[in-house]
Amino acid sequence: MASEPVSDIKPAATAQFEEDILRVLRRRIGKSQNAAKPHDWYASAILTLRDNIIDAWIASTQRTYEAGDKRVYYLSMEFLIGRLLRDALSNLGATRDMERALASFGLDLAELEEMEPDAALGNGGLGRLAACFMESLATLDIPAYGYGIRYVNGMFRQRIDDGWQVELPETWLAHGNCWEFERLESTYRIGFGGEVIAQGEGVIWNPAEQVDATAVDTPVVGWRGKRVNTLRLWTASPIEPLKLDAFNAGDHFGALAEQVRADTLVRVLYPADSSPAGQELRLRQEYFFTAASIQDIVRRHIQYEGDIRTLPDKAAIQLNDTHPSVAVAELMRVLVDLEGLDFAEAWEICKRTISYTNHTLLPEALETWPLPLFERMLPRHMQIIYAINSRVLREARKAGCTDAQISAISLIDESGERRVRMANLAFVGAHSINGVAALHTELMKETVFADLHALYPDRINNKTNGVTPRRWLQQCNPGLVDVVTDAIGPAFLDDTTRLSGLNALADDAQLGERITTVKRANKAALSDHIRKTMGIRLDPDAMFDVQIKRIHEYKRQLLNLIETVSLYDQIRSHPERDWVPRVKIFGGKAAPSYHNAKLIIKLTNDIARRVNADPSVGGLLKVVFVPNYNVSLAERIIPAADLSEQISTAGMEASGTGNMKFALNGALTIGTLDGANVEIKEHVGDDNIFIFGLTAAQVAAKRADGYDPRAVIEGSPELGQALKAIASGVFSPDDPTRYEDLVNGIYDTDWFMCAADFDAYAQAQRAVDARWNDNKSWQAAAIRNIANVGWFSSDRTIAEYAKEIWKVL
Ligand code: 26Q
């Protein structure tokens, strides 16, 4: 890495690593140097590095304790971490020493890095944001714990069979996990079901069923090793693992039933990231990890401070979406039932401690639970929710709310089968509710939270997302780091806004060439990888046009595909024009139950098969669907992208964070005025981004006025032709009607307005071509992107949370 000195003299640290690796290999892995297999070396390297981390970790904890600092608790059902070896090495400045130490045994660090499984304990944006935040919290030296679930099976592995997605379990723990520490002493009992009985002044909850939650800790190293924080993931175990009398009586399965129940709780991540699966197990998971986390927080506070009343001064609890919303009721239960506070005082403590981040406006994604299910599983919490609701609705009445407003504010949705609204619960129980991009936050105030916002106008605030520049620039694109360091010095490594120094050099032809050379090398490396893994040959001199993200109709992969088909048509009709050679790269997983998303994957592969085999496009167009898109693949693909597709229907993508990663690595964005694209445009300047299509307000107006997609299609011959080709089976001769319904959906409803935005999108793509042909101008735009997106570092985001919400900076 550019930031580390290169020296021929073997530094002490290298020699120390060599010695330590051999000792670990022998004493902890139980292998001699001769007998060691690659995985043994891999484990030795991680354990050796881990030993280096532990001292800083203990020191960080000690420092917080002695200073009596306030701690941040980030509660999230998902942490999409990816690999940790390169991250930890780089943040500790130990990459070179480890590389040299391993080389002395004839080993290649890069090869060992590839052996590490991705920790994929998340679906997509929300989980990856939690991972970036954990790294930035440590970097900013903020004492923090991430709390989540140690899923045995994380996000499923995606295989493509005959073009279709097939889901396979991801077994990231199959060879153990070198990074984690089980903390048996941090075990809490978690109850479910049963009944609530009155006792004296208060009540007692007698759960019908209990499991133990045990902490498993992973250290999180900040940049330059400043601080090491803890990611604490809960695992479940039965209180009575084996019912021996049942076993002895011959009921071998029944004897193990509790073990199975506990295992099931933490077995698998729900692979849905929008329409919430309403399953009982999901609610059990939510309560399990939330209750364990709240107990741990309260236990720590009382141990250090002695007085539960000072909790808000020493603890800030951030809820990552509504998945841990039950924390509001659980904290109230602990304060009132276990700590003996009166309800009013507990309520103030709860609100001052908790804050909530919203990540979606899609109505179908807002979490609600059937009231009977909630009451059966968490009877005491249901009582507390009723009590909170009556306080809140009285406040609303006093403030002059109408009946309609009251029913919108209520924690219970009474419109059909009664349901508990988790977003309303989080909102009323928190002192801060934030959106994740400026537009998203404004829409929160105008739409889903309008009535709650009117009642509590000071609570909603914006914290535009960010990404960690360590993983998403320094580690994934060392070539670019070298060039930038040569150009403006290394200050940007500690403060990404210093990348702005590049603005003065945007028209420097030499810098432009050097950045192009790095991009070319990254594209060649990606092409190599795709050739080896998929057998497809790509031309690294073509434009790499990339859309990688979860497959969702609102993200409009379909719009991209329709335009691809249209381009294919035009290349064939006008082979004489000087088309820009393009590689269209797609990647992303579909929720297993999301029919149209799976169909879109199949369509991508059907188009790819046809286009890639057509000699008449003469290599001007290639289409690739990269299977099993995950964090590690993102680290390969993003540095190799020229064009970043961020084309969601305006108003629907809360923020996006991929958009930031691409721009930071010098890709230009083609996108709508949605989510953080709006702010990226403001930072990079209108001339350095390709914005097209309806605004959020126009989308809303069109829907209100009655949108007629059929009329739009009739007015756009290119669109009509492409749709006809797809619908008539040009790409699916084996099953000509495969895409009939999908295309009919566009003619009849087109909820996501692909038709409405098609012409503008196609036109923007031709503007992209024109800019690409002006090489100097493209290079300057790429430099201005890199120079001006330093603001989208998660360090900036976390500093804002810390100052404005948590009050810890
Ligand atoms: C809820 C209940 C039951 C089952 C699943 C879920 C569930 C799980 C995950 C609902 C939503 C999610 C994930 C949402 C998500 O990733 N949202 C994204 O968050 C990013 C970080 O803020 C934003 O950048 C994206 O715009 C937003 O889509």
Question: What is the spatial distance between Cα 383 and Cα 381, in angstroms, rounded to a whole number?
Answer: 5
Query: Does residue 270's CB lie within 6 angstroms of at least one atom of ligand 1?
Result: yes
Question: What is the spatial distance between Cα 421 and Cα 412, in angstroms, rounded to a whole number?
Answer: 6
Residue 22 CB contacts under 8 Å (≥ 6 apart), including other chains? 33, 44
DSSP 8-state assignment for residue 156: P
How high is the pLDDT of residue 3?
Answer: 47
Query: Is pLDDT larger for residue 699 or for residue 276?
Result: 699
**Hey, whose CA ends up nearest to atom 5 of ligand 1?**
276
Q: Which amino acid is at 421?
A: R
Tell me the mean pLDDT in the region 305-331: 98
The two structure tokens encoding residue 167: 């889901």
Q: How many residues make up the chain in this entry? A: 809
Give residue-wise pLDDT tens across range 77-123.
999 999 999 999 999 999 999 999 999 999 999 999 999 999 999 99
Number of C-beta neighbours around residue 187 at 10 A: 17
323, 470, 550, 582: the active-site residue: 550
Quick check: pTM over 0.85?
Answer: yes
Q: Over the Cα atoms of the chain, what is R_g?
A: 27
Query: Does residue 277's CB lie within 6 angstroms of at least one atom of ligand 1?
Result: yes
Terminal Cα-to-Cα distance of the chain (whole angstroms): 31
Calculate how far, in angstroms, residue 667's C-alpha sits from the geometric centre of ligand 1. Answer: 25
Query: Does residue 124's CB lie within 6 angstroms of at least one atom of ligand 1?
Result: yes
Query: Does residue 273's CB lie within 6 angstroms of at least one atom of ligand 1?
Result: yes
Tell me the mean pLDDT in the region 510-535: 98
pLDDT at 537 over 90: yes
Question: What is the spatial distance between Cα 250 and Cα 244, in angstroms, rounded to a whole number?
Answer: 10
Query: Does residue 465's CB lie within 6 angstroms of at least one atom of ligand 1?
Result: yes
Query: Does residue 276's CB lie within 6 angstroms of at least one atom of ligand 1?
Result: yes
514, 549, 683, 771: the active-site residue: 549
Query: Does residue 1's CB lie within 6 angstroms of at least one atom of ligand 1?
Result: no
The two structure tokens encoding residue 693: 């299509």
Query: Does residue 651's CB lie within 6 angstroms of at least one atom of ligand 1?
Result: no
Question: What is the spatial distance between Cα 770 and Cα 501, in angstroms, rounded to a whole number?
Answer: 27
The two structure tokens encoding residue 206: 């007698």
Confidence of residue 6 (pLDDT cuts 50, 70, 90): very low
Phi-psi region of 706 (alpha: psi -120 to 50; beta: other; left: phi over 0): left
**Hey, whose CA ends up nearest to atom 15 of ligand 1?**
126
Confidence of residue 363 (pLDDT cuts 50, 70, 90): confident
Best residue for ligand 1 mutational test, from 79, 268, 273 (most atoms within 8 Å of Cβ): 273
**Hey, whose CA ends up nearest to atom 3 of ligand 1?**
276
Query: Does residue 282's CB lie within 6 angstroms of at least one atom of ligand 1?
Result: yes
Calculate how far, in angstroms, residue 322's C-alpha sits from the geometric centre of ligand 1. Answer: 10
Question: What is the spatial distance between Cα 45 and Cα 178, in angstroms, rounded to a whole number?
Answer: 10
Calculate how far, in angstroms, residue 631's C-alpha sits from the geometric centre of ligand 1. Answer: 16
Question: What is the spatial distance between Cα 532 and Cα 233, in angstroms, rounded to a whole number?
Answer: 36
Q: Which amino acid is at 108?
A: D
Tell me the mean pLDDT in the region 411-427: 97
**Residue 807 is a catalytic residue:** no
**Residue 359 is a catalytic residue:** yes
pLDDT at 677 over 70: yes
Spatial CA neighbour of 449 closest among 414, 323, 440, 800: 440
How high is the pLDDT of residue 5?
Answer: 45
661, 683, 771, 784: the active-site residue: 661
**Hey, whose CA ends up nearest to atom 11 of ligand 1?**
273
**Residue 776 is a catalytic residue:** no
496, 657, 669, 672: the active-site residue: 657
Q: Are 230 and 73 in contact (CB under 8 A)?
A: no
Compute the mean pLDDT over every residue in the chain, rounded to the nearest whole number.
97
Q: Are 791 and 683 in contact (CB under 8 A)?
A: yes
**Residue 702 is a catalytic residue:** no
Tell me the mean pLDDT in the region 58-87: 97
Give residue-wise pLDDT tens across range 208-217.
999 999 999 9
Phi-psi region of 208 (alpha: psi -120 to 50; beta: other; left: phi over 0): alpha
Query: Does residue 146's CB lie within 6 angstroms of at least one atom of ligand 1?
Result: no
Distances (CA, A) of 592 to 64, 77, 238, 271: 44, 19, 30, 7
How high is the pLDDT of residue 9?
Answer: 59
pLDDT at 8 over 90: no
Tell me the mean pLDDT in the region 632-647: 99
Q: Are 664 and 492 in contact (CB under 8 A)?
A: no
Calculate how far, in angstroms, residue 156's C-alpha sits from the geometric centre of ligand 1. Answer: 16
**Residue 657 is a catalytic residue:** yes
Distances (CA, A) of 521 to 215, 548, 776, 781: 43, 20, 19, 19
**Hey, whose CA ends up nearest to atom 21 of ligand 1?**
126
Query: Does residue 674's CB lie within 6 angstroms of at least one atom of ligand 1?
Result: no
How high is the pLDDT of residue 274?
Answer: 76
Tell me the mean pLDDT in the region 173-185: 97
The two structure tokens encoding residue 174: 């199959």
pLDDT at 332 over 60: yes
**Hey, whose CA ends up nearest to atom 10 of ligand 1?**
273
The two structure tokens encoding residue 261: 């129940």
Tell me the mean pLDDT in the region 376-386: 98
**Hey, whose CA ends up nearest to atom 9 of ligand 1?**
273
